[in-house]
Structure 1
């Protein structure tokens, strides 16, 4: 599993679509919002948690189609299907690699970009917490979408249409945690809901992704 994780990390960096692309897109979204809204600090402070979460979600979405595409093209996916490591383990490792190269950098950079949106000081910690809990779910859900569309030509658009509705619960509760934290309100309920969704997704979706991959390989 460690060897597969290291391989996927190297492929993500060398083949593009790694943390550099996601961070650049995240930065562009955050920079453009103040230009569109105007220099209204109170309005920016109010919408900053939602904007940061939407930017992180879309940045994660950019590289999803590459999770299995390279392995499908060079035949590695067939070899992984016959390897001693169960397909569920392969899917989990690939989701972890995607989070390490996309989700984790977004979590670390989000507080810096929050300055551009006038995010209240008390909201920085909760923003990091909400992204740290929610972005793994985004990667696992994205892996499921990538498994559904693997081998399809121009499957990126179809994958986005399939994945985005599944992202909505994580987006709602993740942004709510950040918003409540920024406003100084209680975050327990929203945080527990977000954590429950993330743990449920991480526990169940790898099995669904593995089943879909087995069908596609056959």
Structure 2
């Protein structure tokens, strides 16, 4: 594949990651099932009052989405590291920036996009106003992409460790906090009838910054892990 152009190489790499993910349906379904179970448990803990549930819904939904992304971050490079494909990727003449971006996009498509699509249903379960559902979808679509990019950094740094899941949480959870703050604030503003544009714009700016910088950090992390 060394003779392929960079766009063709990355497209095939993305297709490969998606095919591998679809061959493991449990890995795709686990974040959705986790989302559903936690959403179903919150009314039991907070009580059945619809107004109370609706007031907590933005934060609840975003926290669950963050944890769902965190649960799957460890798997971004794990299988390719185990079978040696990751080392071959580092030796490829293709730019590593675009290669790791293909990995992250695949992770986002099978986790963040699916969670964003399912989120309006979970929002209705918690009594979130219908007017806030489009904002919930848009904020999760933008924010989950940032979570995947940042999570990829932690996955790259810990891919050589047998038990890297807990370490990923310690490394990247502080970087998730700004996304959580502005994502939940956007949904809360929509539910209360306030403008949501500034919050979504900040999420968009975070995404642009992450696309520009995170792949370089991921590439450096993979080189460190492979050489260690």
Q: TM-score, normalised by structure 2?
A: 0.92
Q: 1:87 is matched with which residue? A: 96
Q: CA deviation at 1:80?
A: 0.5
Q: Does 1:18 align with 2:58?
A: no
C-alpha separation between the residues in 2 aligned to 1:128 and 1:202?
20
Stretches of structure 2 lacking an aligned partner (at least 5 in a row): 1-9
Q: 1:213 is matched with which residue? A: 222
SS at match of 1:18: helix
SS at match of 2:74: helix
C-alpha separation between the residues in 2 aligned to 1:151 and 1:17?
23
Q: 2:44 is matched with which residue? A: 35
Q: Deviations over 1:40-85 (max 9, x none)?
A: 1111111111111111111111111111111111100111111132
Stretches of structure 1 lacking an aligned partner (at least 5 in a row): none
Q: CA deviation at 1:15?
A: 3.7
**Residues matched between the structures, number:** 218
Q: Does 1:197 align with 2:195?
A: no
Q: Deviations over 1:134-181 (max 9, x none)?
A: 110010011111001011121111011111111000110011001101
Q: 1:106 is matched with which residue? A: 115
Q: Which runs of 4+ in 1 moved over 4 A?
A: none
C-alpha separation between the residues in 2 aligned to 1:201 and 1:40?
39
CA contact (8 A) 2:160 2:226 kept: no
- RMSD value over aligned CA atoms? 1.2
C-alpha separation between the residues in 1 aligned to 2:201 and 2:175?
18
